[in-house]
Homo-oligomer: A and B are copies of this chain.
Amino acid sequence: MHWKVNEVTTSLRVALLGCGVVGSAVAARLQQHRDDFTARVGAPLDIVGVAVRDLDRPRPESGLDPSLFTTDAEELVTRADLVVELMGGIEPARGLLRRAMEHGASVVTANKALLGEDGPELYEVAEKQDVDLYYEAAVAGAVPLVRPLRESLAGDTVHRVMGIVNGTTNFILDKMDRTGADLESTLKEAQELGYAEADPTADVEGLDARAKAAIIASIAFHTRVRTPDVYCEGIMGVTPDDIRAARKIGCVIKLLAICERTADPRGALGVNVRVHPALVPRTHPLATVHDAFNAVFVEAELAGELMFYGQGAGGVPTSSAVLGDLVQAARHKVRGGRGPGESAYLALDVHGIGSATTGYFIRMDVQDRPGVLGQVAGVIAAQGVSIESIRQGLKRSEGGLATLHLVTHPATDAALARTVDRLRAHEDVASVASVLRVEGL
């Protein structure tokens, strides 16, 4: 096969920013499989420098010559054809990516926080500089999702994306479902096993999934969604009682990222993007996603239902996505052209959570006397919400109370929130113990 060499006659210069677990895996692979990369790209990929904060920390797993490490990232990005950013965080990553592109480098990043906040500005720099900005690793780790949404589905219309995009919370919820244990002890176990970080806030509060949801929605709907546009609830409120109750009605609880094309109450088209725990029927493919795996369901007008499944985190799996992007960007450096940029031509409005349409699962304690079920049903009907099922627990709680488990048909979140307010205020309702959304019915 004959390669046409454009711009580059010898090797391509690769700079790494950050050398943690993903960076080390990327560096090691590039060196160990140098010939494969050369054949696939059409030119050798040479690591010309690795920017780190602490030069003294040994990084034997990267296999890199110590002379390649530098603390001067600003200088490094000006002498590379390809820059791989794996530092995370907003600054200095943002400035460095911008500087790299302004010096003509194509960039690959796994930085979901940065893209969720400031993706649009960076996409514009890439467009202006005619370089690639790739970020498959920022969403769902090793699972190819960004490229299929942006390229494979480029001739289709995506209506909905619903997925498990955070491995830590899936590990915790899956474990709670299997063992019946509470969240705190399960989180501790996840930390001991390395599935959760010492500070688990970004995962358990849903912030990681939130940034990913913003990125997914932007690509899927050809629009701009930023992290603050995404409604977000974490999993800290999920109790063993919720999980048991979900099981009783054939469901499991998952933290979902949901991106939908919707219409607001006045019929204006827009998008609704949200992250929250939800009941999912055990027969739904997402219910069978265990441990720290990720899976994303896509509903498109022509393609119908698609699902993508794989490892959503971990240094080695994530390095696969980074390296795939690196090879694409490098091929463009060798052969000319560049990949499709971000397209935001639709510029859809972002609608609030109130217009989102879901089912609700409500667990409550009510007075144990005849007619109470009808009273409750009346409160719900008065809000225009339709009941899918209602069942009274066999075991009565203390103080003459009965437990009700109620599932509504899909309705707007606003109507459901009003319904819950009315239930809480009703004299026959002692307490509303739990309210969770239901998806995938």
Contact = CB atoms under 8 A, between A and B. Distances in A.
Interface string A123-167: 000010010000010000011100110011111110000000000
Interface string A274-299: 00000000000100100000000000
A131 to B, nearest CB: 12
A394 interface: no
A17 interface: no
A307 interface: yes
B320 A311 contact: no
A254 to B, nearest CB: 16
A311 B304 contact: yes
A303 B311 CA distance: 7
Interface in A158-181: none
A304 B285 contact: no
A382 interface: no
Given A321-B303, A337-B336, A309 B309 contact: yes
A249 interface: no
A59 interface: no
Contacts of A409: none
B4 A130 contact: yes
A1 B343 CA distance: 8
Given A136-B152, A144-B144, A152-B144, A323 B306 contact: no
Interface stretch (A67-75, A325-333, A356-364, A400-408): A325-333
Interface string A4-47: 10000000000000000000010001000100110110000000
B340 A320 contact: no
Copy number in the complex reads 2
A127 B3 CA distance: 9
Contacts of A302: 25, 29, 142, 316-317, 319-320, 323
A335 interface: yes
B222 A341 contact: no
A337 B338 contact: yes
12 contacts: A1-B343, A1-B344, A33-B157, A142-B304, A142-B306, A144-B153, A153-B320, A154-B324, A288-B288, A300-B320, A308-B308, A336-B337
Given A142-B304, A144-B152, A148-B148, 15 more contacts: A1-B127, A1-B341, A29-B155, A151-B324, A154-B328, A155-B323, A155-B324, A288-B288, A303-B321, A305-B310, A307-B307, A308-B308, A309-B309, A332-B337, A335-B338
Interface of A: 1-2, 4, 25, 29, 33, 36-37, 39-40, 127, 130, 136, 142-144, 147-148, 151-157, 222, 285, 288, 300, 302-311, 316-317, 319-328, 331-332, 335-338, 340-341, 343-346
